[in-house]
Amino acid sequence: MSRAEVVDVSRAGAPREPRWIWTLGLFRSELAITFRRWRTIALLGVLAAVPVLVGVAVRIETSDGSTVGGGGEGGGPAFIAQVTNNGLFLVFTALAATLPFFLPMAIGVVAGDAIAGEANAGTLRYLLVAPAGRTRLLLVKYATTLTFCLVATLVVAVSALATGALLFPLGEVTTISGTRMGFGEGLVRALLIALVVAASLIGVAALGLFVSTLTSSGIAAMATTVGLLITVQILDQIPQLDALHPYFFSHYWLSFADLMREPVYWDDLIKNFQIQGLYAAVFGSAAWARFGAKDIMA
């Protein structure tokens, strides 16, 4: 981040009073640094490649006139069976395929490195000398991670839409309820689903930010966040832990499929938003408490 900001501050000499316009500058600097990193570009490249691979695989499998199926056997929506009829369904299929692992893993890498990466690079102390304040710096880091959540989700959706348009026909969309809607309305539903998927990741982002305040090693923070993500996913599949499943941040992720019902089924969507808000509040507060009391040595 912020190394550019650090240079500016060191040149300025005397500390300045924190102002919101300065905070916006810090946020812009953080965004620029994050999205210019080769690691971030590689993560977005992998996310963009997943819909292409899925689309090509479906195209090859159905090239002899056969059908593709099997979607939803794991409890997820059976969108993949509709891809050959309408390329727009590749958007829903790609989001369903990347949400359980690829998307949260990418978020875990960015969030885990947010504070620990600065400490590891030796720039965190200089950032705090600048008039940002720990709370404001933490909020900027979280806002940057949430922006990455939105961008990563949109990259998957746009890549899937382009691949679907190239490989399959487009047209009216048949909902899970069996009703039909125009292609334009289907595009609006796809955008809403992408926004819901991005919102489903705010809990993971807060968890990763909290882990990042616990260590000065960016790699350790990223590995711990991704490890916790995998552990929760495994626990969510164990029947003996049914009573705990509704409290796991990943339990309602696939509820976005309810936006493809007519009328929309809101119950699980609302539960998903509530659990994400709960995780964001709990781990965001824990990160603030930990970061506020932490001795910054580098």
Give pLDDT tens digits for 206-238: 999 999 999 888 888 888 988 998 899 899 989
Residue 13 counted as domain residue: no
Place of tokens 């504070």: 115
Residue 5 counted as domain residue: no
Nearest to 57 by CA among 80, 86, 91, 88: 80
Residue 203, pLDDT score: 93
The Cβ-side half-sphere exposure at 48, using a 13 Å CA radius, reads: 11
User: Is pLDDT above 60 for 73?
Assistant: no
Residue 8 counted as domain residue: no
Residue 82 counted as domain residue: yes
**Predicted TM-score (pTM) of this structure:** 0.85
Place of tokens 């998957």: 156
Residue 11 counted as domain residue: no
Average pLDDT over residues 93-120: 89
* HEC per residue, 79-124: CHHHCCCCCCHHHHHHHHHHCCCHHHHHHHHHHHHHHHHHHHHCCH
Residue 93 structural domain: 23-62+78-292
Which tokens is 57 given?
């695989």
Ranges 57-71, 180-194, 213-227: which has the least confidence: 57-71
Residue 269 counted as domain residue: yes
pLDDT in tens, 111-153: 988 888 888 877 777 777 766 678 888 999 999 999 999 999 9
Please state, rounded to an integer, the average pLDDT across all residues of the chain: 85
Structural domain count of the chain: 1
SS3 call for 77: coil
Which tokens is 111 given?
């969030």
Residue 119, pLDDT score: 82
User: Is pLDDT above 50 for 10?
Assistant: no
Q: What does the chain come to in residues?
A: 298
Residue 136 counted as domain residue: yes
Write the DSSP string, 179-204: -EE-HHHHHHHHHHHHHHHHHTTHHH
Residue 126 counted as domain residue: yes
Residue 68, pLDDT score: 65
Backbone dihedral region for residue 23 (phi beyond 0: left; psi -120 to 50: alpha; all else: beta) = alpha
Beta-ladder partners of 181: 173
